[in-house]
Structure 1
Amino acid sequence: MVIAILLVSSWAIAQEKKISKSAVIVFEASVPSFEEVKATNNNVTLVLNPATGEIASLALMKGFRFKVALMEEHFNENYVESDKYPKALFKGKIENFDTNNLTATPKDFIINGKLELHGKTVVVKAPAKISQTNSGIHLQSSFSVNASDFDISIPAVVKNKVSNKINIQLNGVLK
Structure 2
Amino acid sequence: MKRIVYFLALFFAVTAVQAQSKKVTKTGEITFEASVPAFEEVKAKSRNATFVLNTENGEIASLVLVKSFRFKIALMEEHFNENYIESDRYPKATFKGKIDNFKVGALTETAKDFTIRGKLEVHGKTKEVTVPAKIKKVGDDIAIQANFNVTSDDFNIEIPSVVSKKVSKTVAVSFDCLLK
TM-score normalised over the length of structure 2: 0.92
Which of 1 and 2 has greater Rg? Answer: 2
Q: Give the SS at the match of 2:162.
A: helix
> Which residue of the partner structure matches residue 91 of structure 1?
96
Residues 87-132 of structure 1: CA deviation (Å, up to 9, x unaligned) = 0000000000011111111000000000011110000000000000
Residues 45-92 of structure 1: CA deviation (Å, up to 9, x unaligned) = 011001000000101000000000000000000011001100000000
> Which residue of the partner structure matches residue 134 of structure 2?
129
Q: Does residue 1:148 correspond to 2:158, yes or no?
A: no
Within 1, Cα distance between the matches of 2:132 and 2:94? 18
Amino acid at match of 2:118: G
Amino acid at match of 2:167: V
Within 2, Cα distance between the matches of 1:8 and 1:122? 39
Could you tell me which of 61, 64, 73 is aligned with 1:68?
73
Q: Give the SS at the match of 1:145.
A: strand
What is the Cα-based RMSD across aligned positions, in Å?
A: 1.5
Q: Does residue 1:113 correspond to 2:118, yes or no?
A: yes
After TM superposition, give the deviation of residue 8 of structure 1 in Å.
4.9
Q: Does residue 1:103 correspond to 2:108, yes or no?
A: yes
Aligned CA distance change for structure 1 residues 56 and 76 (closer, same or farther; 3 Å): same
Could you tell me which of 43, 57, 66 is aligned with 2:62?
57
Uncovered stretches (5+) of structure 1, i.e. residues with no partner: none
Residue identity (%): 55
Aligned CA distance change for structure 1 residues 25 and 118 (closer, same or farther; 3 Å): same
Provide the aligned length of Structure 1 versus Structure 2: 175
Q: Give the SS at the match of 1:41.
A: strand
Could you tell me which of 159, 162, 168 is aligned with 2:164?
159
Question: Residues 17 and 48 of structure 1 are in contact (CA less than 8 Å); yes or no, is this contact kept in structure 2?
Answer: yes
Could you tell which deviates more after superposition, 12-21 or 108-117? 12-21
Aligned CA distance change for structure 1 residues 29 and 135 (closer, same or farther; 3 Å): farther
TM-score normalised over the length of structure 1: 0.95
